[in-house]
Structure 1
């Protein structure tokens, strides 16, 4: 399983370098050769800093229809939520500045995300006392599991904007989760639902050999590391 996951990671990394969009970067540099001194402590082990924003995801970019699109919070909550896109965008918004660390080995620093803090939505839904985990569901039922306490942190956000502009479809428009304290696959693109759960349930990549927690500072990339 570890070898299979490793092959997938290597393939994703190769494809990401092949698919760089020159419009994502001003100077054409793939990776920063030297990490700025003030940023060195912000880069987890095994990561390289990039100025670009590589595009990695499972499947094709979905089409967005604002008339039919809905976002839900359901499961182990007192007040399930269903919002149209306009209703979501009318909620009090916030900004979060954070770094993004991809499991394939690149880190993009100083991202400014605009959107709705996940803790505010969860606060409205009022998770039950037994709730401890969340399955974040994207388009085509892609999932990633995240602890409820992580989504209750100040820097977790459901974002529609990045660095002052709306997200591009390839980066998750109309809505993506951002959880900067975990590897990037947990930051689900094209988010559609938060399923609040009493028990943990592994997501799409977690059942395919990726680590269940995904802490970049511990280099929790593969599921076999959970046994050590």
Structure 2
């Protein structure tokens, strides 16, 4: 019998299968991607109140860096060796005067209204970038 879904692949977390390329990342592939603004914009709020905005021009003024990382999806697939380009989130926040945690957690909301929560110290770690290219 041929195994189409290996239980364990060297170098991957248990139960993951390796894909050759990064798919469009969504849990609703039947829907078109959300419309995105031409110019990126990161709105920063504290307790619902706006405190700063990082614009595309702000991001372009910062030194980009490459980050090689694997992507492991909870739905059991992985893509390895991806090269993400962007600016360190810590530097993007500092560019608008945010150097200290306004709250213990950071919640990121994407254009499709999905969100994820991060502990502040994790979000501003050296290896966290605000990716602009993949």
TM-score class normalised by the smaller sequence: 0.7 to 0.9
What residue is the counterpart of 2:71 in the other structure?
100
Question: Does the C-alpha gap of structure 1 residues 122 and 70 become closer, same or farther in structure 2, counting only changes over 3 Å?
Answer: closer
Q: TM-score, normalised by structure 1?
A: 0.46
User: Partner of 1:100: helix, strand, or coil?
Assistant: strand
User: How many residues matched?
Assistant: 123
Which blocks of at least 5 consecutive residues in structure 1 are unaligned? 1-29, 163-228
Higher strand share: 2
1:1-228 correspondence to structure 2 within 5 Å:
35=9, 40=10, 42-57=11-26, 58=28, 60-66=32-38, 69-75=40-46, 80-124=51-95, 125-128=98-101, 131-162=103-134
Distance 1:118 1:133 in 2: 14
User: Partner of 1:159: helix, strand, or coil?
Assistant: strand
Alpha-carbon contact 1:66-1:85 (below 8 Å) kept: no
Q: TM-score, normalised by structure 2?
A: 0.73
Alpha-carbon contact 2:62-2:92 (below 8 Å) kept: no
Shift of 1:140: 4.5
CA RMSD across the alignment: 2.9
User: Partner of 1:141: helix, strand, or coil?
Assistant: coil
User: Partner of 2:125: helix, strand, or coil?
Assistant: coil
Which blocks of at least 5 consecutive residues in structure 2 are unaligned? none
Question: Does the C-alpha gap of structure 1 residues 152 and 65 become closer, same or farther in structure 2, counting only changes over 3 Å?
Answer: closer
What residue is the counterpart of 1:24 in the other structure?
none
What residue is the counterpart of 1:214 in the other structure?
none
Shift of 1:31: 8.2
Distance 1:134 1:100 in 2: 21
Alpha-carbon contact 1:98-1:155 (below 8 Å) kept: no
